[in-house]
Amino acid sequence: MDLHMHSNISADGVYPVEELLSIAENVGLKTISITDHNSALAHFLIKNINVDKYFSGEIVSGIEIDVTHNGVTFDLLAYNFDVVPVMEWAYKKFGTVTDRQSKIRQKLYELLDKNEILYEKDFPWNPKQEFAHINVFNNFSRFPENLDKLGTKIADGSDFYRNSTTNNDFLLYLNMDFLWATISEVKSVIHSNGGKIFLAHPYGYKANVDVDRLLDIVLKEGLDGIEVYHTKHSAEQIKYLDTFCKKHNLLISGGSDFHGKNGEKMVDWDIQKFW
């Protein structure tokens, strides 16, 4: 079982849906979920192809959703929902990859201008191949004086999002309320369409997100479960989360967070660990 993987419908995914299904078949997976960022389109496409040609196992509908809650930015995974209404909600809420990444990029450049951060005005960008945060970071980081002004060490463009612009103590903090969903929105659409909601990879965020705070949100907001098994979780972290879920009668999920690059591999989790 692997309940967390991305097709090229996600900006950072590599493989088309059909090819992703074939890869899952070839590595021996029996149950999978494609959880693209803010889109359930993959599962609509699956309903309109000859799935048996690519994958012989069970496919659970899935989506990974960006949310904000009291200033904290993180991800939720949703599963086993009615595809069409969730797909339509996600499209209305987030638009296409180009739509939402263009909005983010514009906001980031407004922050650069406001804080007199140097950057190249006509810096090239393909929103279908590169996240806005990474593109903007790659632009302004070419000017050494910018990093000195920011007073922090930003490792890369991904770090610029997870550990920088979502940190309200950072000079270029960007409140994502203008675009990301609230937990109440996600609960409304997913639960009303028969699905379950999980906190995604609690230990996969950067230092500014406190795991115990996230787990408290899970309980207070009535989420259904936690992604316990994840390739970025250590054995000790998995044990802690597993114990937490059992104590609070929460569902457990897991996945590789496969995108198709950087050496990531799909994971064949033991199905008995989940249901």
CATH number of the domain within which 236 lies: 3.20.20.140
Specify whether 88 is located in the same domain as 217.
yes
What's the pLDDT score for residue 264?
A: 55
Residues 6+ apart with CB under 8 A from 61: 33, 40, 43, 79, 80, 81, 82, 83, 86, 195
| Inter-residue contact 83 to 43 (CB < 8 Å) | yes
Q: Which contacts of 216-220 are long-range, i.e. CB under 8 A and separated by 24 or more positions? A: 217/69, 217/72, 217/183, 218/250, 219/248
Residue finishing a domain among 118, 147, 177: 177
Specify whether 83 is located in the same domain as 189.
yes
Specify whether 88 is located in the same domain as 13.
yes
Rg (CA), the chain: 19
Domain range for 117: 97-177
Specify whether 173 is located in the same domain as 194.
no
Q: For residue range 19-50, list pLDDT tens digits in order.
A: 999 999 999 999 999 999 999 999 999 998 99
Strands (E), the chain: 2-5, 31-34, 58-59, 62-69, 72-79, 196-199, 225-230, 251-255
Specify whether 187 is located in the same domain as 78.
yes
Specify whether 13 is located in the same domain as 130.
no
Specify whether 186 is located in the same domain as 225.
yes
Q: Which regions of the chain are under pLDDT 70?
A: 152-153, 155, 207-208, 262-275
CA–CA separation, 180 and 18 (whole Å) = 29
What's the pLDDT score for residue 262?
A: 58
Give the count of domains, the chain. 2
Specify whether 172 is located in the same domain as 196.
no
What's the pLDDT score for residue 275?
A: 32
CA–CA separation, 5 and 35 (whole Å) = 6
Specify whether 68 is located in the same domain as 131.
no
The torsion angles phi and psi of 21, rounded to 5 degrees, stand at: -60, -40
Residue finishing a domain among 135, 150, 177: 177
DSSP 181: B
Residue finishing a domain among 177, 192, 214: 177
Using CB atoms within 10 Å of the CB of residue 93, give its burial: 0 to 12 exposed, 13 to 18 middle, 19+ buried: middle
Measured CA distances, 152 to 5, 46, 104 (Å): 32, 44, 21
| Inter-residue contact 99 to 39 (CB < 8 Å) | no
CA–CA separation, 17 and 95 (whole Å) = 19
What's the pLDDT score for residue 174?
A: 93
Specify whether 259 is located in the same domain as 241.
yes
Specify whether 84 is located in the same domain as 202.
yes
Specify whether 26 is located in the same domain as 142.
no
Both structure tokens of 221: 């907001």
Strand partners, 34: 5
What's the pLDDT score for residue 238?
A: 96
Closest to 164 in 3D by CA, of 128, 201, 205: 205
